[in-house]
Amino acid sequence: MNDTPKFDPNVTDLDRALAFAIPARSARGRIVRLGTALDEVLAAHAYPPAIEKLLAEALTLAALIGSTLKDSSGQLTMQTRTDNGVVQLLVCDYRGGEVRGYIEYDADKLAEAPAEPSLFALFGAGYLAITFDMATSNERYQGIVPLDGDTLSQAAQSYFTQSEQIPTMIRTGMAKGPDGRCISGGLFLQHLPEGEDGRERLHTKLDHP
């Protein structure tokens, strides 16, 4: 997915997640697009551009991954742990189709950073924790991965590759129109093992994180 998708104010197919499977390719995935849901969270905080872009990516990831929960009462939480970076705290969660997010940052450090700071400049030697809380079974799954790479999406991709040991690709992008409205999109794609185990995972565990 292009990191700078074209903004189209007439698009109405937003704030939705779509699951798909490609059995012939042993693949499964999710597509999500956010509009109003994204705008409402961003408008509540009036963050600087670099922080706004980061939160938009995090919210898109939360919606993308959270929509895989089989438990409709379950919750996904994403939280960063940072070391001397611009961002002191980033928290996003998804529950029942709703996303929320918040960032605490050091304004002085942000002023000294480039206009488009790297992930390392924003977080330092940080970590990303992804937690799945299953309300109906009272089970919790959590994984922690370093904030390596260029984007949060790459860190989340590493989480799935390591935790499930399945080749995984995650892409996100955001665009802002002349009126300040934002649209974001995300793609989550996994290539499943061949054979009976792979087919069973594809058909019976499509919605399991």
pLDDT on residue 2: 37
Within a domain: residue 209? no
Within a domain: residue 208? no
Within a domain: residue 6? no
pLDDT on residue 132: 92
Cα-to-chain-centroid distance, residue 177: 21
Q: Are 66 and 95 in contact (CB under 8 A)?
A: yes
Average pLDDT, the chain: 84
Taking residues 173-200, what's their average pLDDT? 78
143-186 residue pLDDT tens: 999 998 899 999 999 988 888 788 899 999 999 878 878 899 99
- Residues with Cβ < 8 Å from 108, sequence gap 6 or more? none
Taking residues 113-128, what's their average pLDDT? 92
Taking residues 82-94, what's their average pLDDT? 92
Report the alpha-carbon distance of residue 98 to residue 155 in Å, rounded.
22
Residue span of the structural domain in which 141 resides: 16-203
User: Confidence band (pLDDT; 50, 70, 90) for 13?
Assistant: low
CATH number of the domain bearing residue 27: 3.55.30.10
Number of domains in the chain: 1
Tokens of 68: 């895989």
